[in-house]
Amino acid sequence: MKSAVVVFGLVALAAGCATAPLVPPVENPAATWQWRQAQLRPITAWNIQGRLAMRTAGEGWQASLDWMREGERHRIDLAGPLGRGHLRLTRDEHGAELRDADRRRWRAENPEQLLYRTTGWRVPLDGLNYWVLGLPQPGAAAEQELDPQGRLKSLVQSGWDVRFLEYARYGSLELPSKLFIKRQDGDPNDDPANRATLEVRLVIERWTLKQ
């Protein structure tokens, strides 16, 4: 399986991730939200650079993130998690592969399941394909709240509680720059203190989108 970087025409929309200036409320947030979705849904190719942190009751880790996507082809590099050095997760039409710093390889059909099986980290990769754009994942029930600017403020989907903490402007687009994602497993009727909690924090420092 090829793990080389996919080369395609890109336009860098910003040298870094700067918080967007305060944007005044729009007259019709719902209509603005419909317009935003139409602008963002066609985006399926990017390079994201930033930082990813995860925390459970027993442990936590953080890593630098470099995520390249072109359609259904993905290459995600994580550097520094839990002393593992470097992990590369790739996905294409043949399935998913994980490679560590010692060049050991694992394969599976689904990248999210592969990462969980080999590391124990449950990262909502399928949802993140859309959440990083400020969109809900299609085909999955969702509860969502918009901010006064017609952007996603919060989203509950597939068992995850997603908070869009900051947006940044890249060219004509406003894209999320800070996300907080939380999941609680177990019986919802149990005391929250007795339920397993996973928190994921994603800071996007640079976006590069396909032109």
Domains, in order of start, for the chain: 10-210 (2.50.20.10)
pLDDT band for position 8 (cuts 50, 70, 90)? very low
Question: For the chain, where are the alpha helices, taking DSSP H only?
Answer: 29-40, 111-119, 125-131
Q: Please classify residue 48 by burial: count the beta carbons closer than 10 Å to its beta carbon, then call 0-12 exposed, 13-18 middle and 19+ buried.
A: buried
pLDDT band for position 10 (cuts 50, 70, 90)? very low
Q: How far apart are the C-alpha atoms of 11 and 170, rounded to whole Å?
A: 11
Local structure of 132: helix, strand or coil: coil
Name the residue type at position 32: T
Q: How far apart are the C-alpha atoms of 110 and 116, rounded to whole Å?
A: 10
Closest CA to 61 of 113, 102, 121: 121
**Average confidence (pLDDT) over 30-48:** 95
Q: Copy the structure tokens of residue 55.
A: 């925390």
Q: How far apart are the C-alpha atoms of 89 and 114, rounded to whole Å?
A: 9
Query: pLDDT digit string (tens) for 70-104?
Result: 999 999 999 986 556 789 999 999 899 999 888 89
- Residue 144 above 50 pLDDT? yes
Please report, for residues 46, 50, 172, 181, the alpha-carbon distance to residue 206 in angstroms, rounded to integers and kept in the order given: 10, 7, 15, 19
pLDDT band for position 14 (cuts 50, 70, 90)? very low
pLDDT band for position 184 (cuts 50, 70, 90)? confident
Q: How many residues would you count in the chain?
A: 211
Query: pLDDT digit string (tens) for 188-198?
Result: 455 555 556 88
Closest CA to 119 of 195, 209, 198, 26: 198
